[in-house]
Structure 1
Amino acid sequence: MAENTRIEWCDATFNPWIGCTKVSPGCDHCYAERSTPSRTLRVPWGPGAPRRRTSAANWHHPHRWNRHAIDHGIRYRVFCASLADWLDNEVPVEWLADLLNLVRITPNLDWLLLSKRIGNWETRLRAVLTYILSDDAVSYRADLLSWLEGWLGGGRPPSNVWLGATVVNQAEAERDIPKLLDTPAALHWLSMEPLLGPVDLTAIKRTVAPGFFGDALHWYHRGCCHEQDGIEYPAIDWIIVGGESGPRARPMHPDWARALRDQCHAADVPFLFKQWGEWAPDRDGAETCGNCGQTKFDTINAHGECGACGSDRWQRADTPLDTPCRIGKRRAGRLLDGREHHAFPIPPSGGAS
Structure 2
Amino acid sequence: MNWEPWTGCYPVSTGCDNCYFYGPNAKRFGQNEITKTDKFDWPIRRNKKGEYCIKGGKILATCFATDFFLPEADLWRKGAWAMIKERQDIDFLIITKRIERFKESLPEDWGDGYDNVNIGCTVETQALADQRLPLFLSYPLKRRFIAASPLLEELDLSPYLAKVDHVTVCGENGRDGRLCEYAWIEKIQKQCQAAGKTFWFKSTGTRFRTQEEVVKVNPFKQGALAKSFQLDITDGKRLF
TM over 0.5: yes
1:64 Cα deviation after fit = 5.5
- CA deviations 1:294-333 (Å, max 9, x no partner) are xxxxxxxxxxxxxxxxxxxxxxxxxxx5332223333443
Query: SS at the partner of 1:266?
Result: helix
Say whether residues 1:149 and 2:102 are aligned partners: no
Query: SS at the partner of 1:246?
Result: coil
| Aligned CA distance change for structure 1 residues 241 and 340 (closer, same or farther; 3 Å) | same
- CA deviations 1:108-160 (Å, max 9, x no partner) are 111112110101112233xxxxxxxxxxxxxxxxxxxxxx3332xxx441111
Partner of 2:161: 217
1:347 Cα deviation after fit = 8.1
User: Where do 1:98-177 residues align within 5 Å?
Assistant: 98-125=79-106, 148-151=107-110, 155-177=111-133
1:346 Cα deviation after fit = 4.7
Instruction: Give the whole-Å Cα distance in 2 for the aligned partners of 1:95 and 1:171.
Output: 32
Say whether residues 1:329 and 2:202 are aligned partners: no
Instruction: Give the whole-Å Cα distance in 2 for the aligned partners of 1:98 and 1:20.
Output: 20
C-alpha contact 1:114 1:164 (8 A) present in aligned 2:
yes
Given candidates 6, 16, 27, the residue that maps to 2:16 is 27
User: Where do 1:1-353 residues align within 5 Å?
Assistant: 12-34=1-23, 36=25, 38-40=26-28, 43-45=30-32, 50-55=33-38, 58-63=39-44, 67=52, 68-70=54-56, 75-91=57-73, 93-125=74-106, 148-151=107-110, 155-202=111-158, 215-218=159-162, 235-281=163-209, 321-332=211-222, 333-335=224-226, 338-339=229-230, 341=232, 343=234, 346=238
RMSD: 2.5
Instruction: Give the whole-Å Cα distance in 2 for the aligned partners of 1:157 and 1:188.
Output: 10
1:18 Cα deviation after fit = 0.9
| Aligned CA distance change for structure 1 residues 40 and 32 (closer, same or farther; 3 Å) | closer
1:191 Cα deviation after fit = 1.2
Query: SS at the partner of 1:325?
Result: strand
Percent identity between the two aligned chains: 25
Instruction: Give the whole-Å Cα distance in 2 for the aligned partners of 1:124 and 1:340.
Output: 35
- CA deviations 1:192-226 (Å, max 9, x no partner) are 11100011012xxxxxxxxxxxx3112xxxxxxxx
Paired residues in the alignment total 233
- Structure 1 stretches lacking a partner, 5+ long: 1-11, 126-147, 203-214, 219-234, 283-320, 349-353
| Aligned CA distance change for structure 1 residues 35 and 51 (closer, same or farther; 3 Å) | farther
| Aligned CA distance change for structure 1 residues 22 and 178 (closer, same or farther; 3 Å) | same
1:336 Cα deviation after fit = 5.5
Query: SS at the partner of 2:102?
Result: helix
- CA deviations 1:60-95 (Å, max 9, x no partner) are 43235994544xxxx21211111111111122x221
Instruction: Give the whole-Å Cα distance in 1 for the aligned partners of 2:172 and 2:114.
Output: 32
